[in-house]
């Protein structure tokens, strides 16, 4: 059975990276809720952590406050133990801490930048929806296959021509095998909204299953990015504007 204090501590550790929750009135910064070694847990930090749990009755809030404080103390103790073993000096841990700090700053900046902007009207949203069918009604999921081919410079034109006339990526890779051409491959799936607009303009006319080369480089070995597509329309009647950036 999981320890509820540990679970709550983990939830708090994750929630400290999130923004956008309602903030309680800040108490004086020198108000102390608890001390853990040389560190101080302020009432402000405790109030913020309790607020992230959502609205609740006064009785539930009072009970939660004590549990949250215990979880924060646990969190501080574990972080002290980690620092004592110099885990914070490991390159991957130090990098993760730097990235988390940057993310908090980015979210705080973006929240301040956009909080006073007026919300778009339904008409404006519908107009955007209609002007960008590639992101909504005709949205597709794209699978990018990166192929690294080991072949002589004299065969590049032949291989490129074969790729263009192949009916599918599988047919092309089968052909490479018959030619004794070594291939290293990797792949990922990206929705239309996660692809730069300039590249999406090249891909939007693809048919389901069609392979298209969007990058072909000849530095050392030959590397090409092949994209295949399948339809995955967004049926929302009121598209979310925050997903369009």
- Three state DSSP letters for the chain: CCCHHHHHHHHHHHHCCCCCCCCCCCCCCCCEEEEECCEEEEHHHHHHHHHCCCCCCHHHHHHHHHHHHHHHHHHHHHHHHHHHCCHHHCHHHHHHHHHHHHHHHHHHHHHHHHCCCCCCCHHHHHHHHHHCHHHCCCCEEEEEEEEEEECCHHHHHHHHHHHHHCCCHHHHHHHHHHCCCEEEEEEEEEEHHHCCHHHHHHHCCCCECCCEEEEEECCCCEEEEEEEEEECCCCCCCCCHHHCC
Domain count, the chain: 2
Of the two residues 208 and 125, the one the predictor is more confident about is 125
Residues 78 and 157 occupy one common structural domain: no
Of 85, 118, 136, the position where a domain reaches its end is: 85
Query: What pLDDT is recorded for position 227?
Result: 75
Query: What pLDDT is recorded for position 178?
Result: 93
Residue 108 lies in a domain: no
Query: What pLDDT is recorded for position 173?
Result: 86
Across 219-236, average pLDDT: 69
Query: What pLDDT is recorded for position 216?
Result: 58
Residues 191 and 131 occupy one common structural domain: yes
Of the two residues 238 and 231, the one the predictor is more confident about is 231
Residue 65 has pLDDT above 50, yes or no: yes
Residue 199 lies in a domain: yes
Between the CA atoms of 22, 25, 29 and 33, what dihedral angle is there, to the nearest 10 degrees?
A: -80
Query: What pLDDT is recorded for position 213?
Result: 66
Of the two residues 144 and 27, the one the predictor is more confident about is 144
pLDDT digits 0-9 by tens, 72-110: 999 999 999 999 999 999 999 999 999 999 999 999 999
Of 29, 52, 85, the position where a domain reaches its end is: 85
Query: What pLDDT is recorded for position 161?
Result: 87
Residues 132 and 216 occupy one common structural domain: yes
CA 144 to chain centre: 18
Residue 226 has pLDDT above 90, yes or no: no
Residue 241 has pLDDT above 80, yes or no: no
Strand partners, 183: 149
The model's confidence at residue 223, banded by pLDDT at 50, 70 and 90, is: low
Most confident of 16-25, 145-154, 204-213: 145-154
């Amino acid at each position: 059975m999981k320890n509820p204090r540990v679970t709550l501590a983990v939830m708090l550790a994750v929630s400290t990276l999130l923004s956008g929750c309602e903030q309680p009135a800040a108490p004086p910064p020198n108000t102390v809720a608890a001390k853990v070694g040389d560190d101080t847990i302020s009432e402000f930090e405790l109030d913020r952590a309790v607020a992230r749990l959502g609205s609740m009755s006064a009785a539930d809030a009072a009970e939660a406050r004590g549990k949250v404080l215990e979880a924060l103390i646990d969190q501080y103790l574990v972080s002290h133990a980690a620092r004592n073993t110099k885990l914070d000096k490991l390159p991957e841990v130090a990098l993760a801490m730097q990235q988390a700090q940057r993310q908090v700053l980015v979210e705080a900046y973006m929240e301040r930048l956009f909080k006073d902007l007026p919300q778009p009207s339904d008409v404006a949203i519908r107009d955007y929806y209609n002007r960008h069918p590639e992101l909504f009604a005709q949205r597709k999921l794209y699978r990018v296959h990166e192929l690294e081919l080991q072949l002589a410079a004299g065969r590049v034109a032949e291989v490129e021509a074969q790729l263009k006339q192949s009916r599918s990526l599988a047919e092309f890779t089968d052909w490479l095998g018959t030619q004794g051409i070594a291939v290293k491959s990797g792949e990922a799936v990206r929705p239309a909204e996660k692809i730069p607009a300039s590249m999406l303009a090249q891909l939007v006319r693809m048919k389901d299953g069609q392979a298209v080369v969007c990058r072909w480089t000849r530095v050392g070995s030959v590397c090409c990015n092949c994209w295949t597509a399948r339809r995955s329309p967004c049926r929302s009647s009121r598209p979310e504007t925050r997903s369009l950036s």
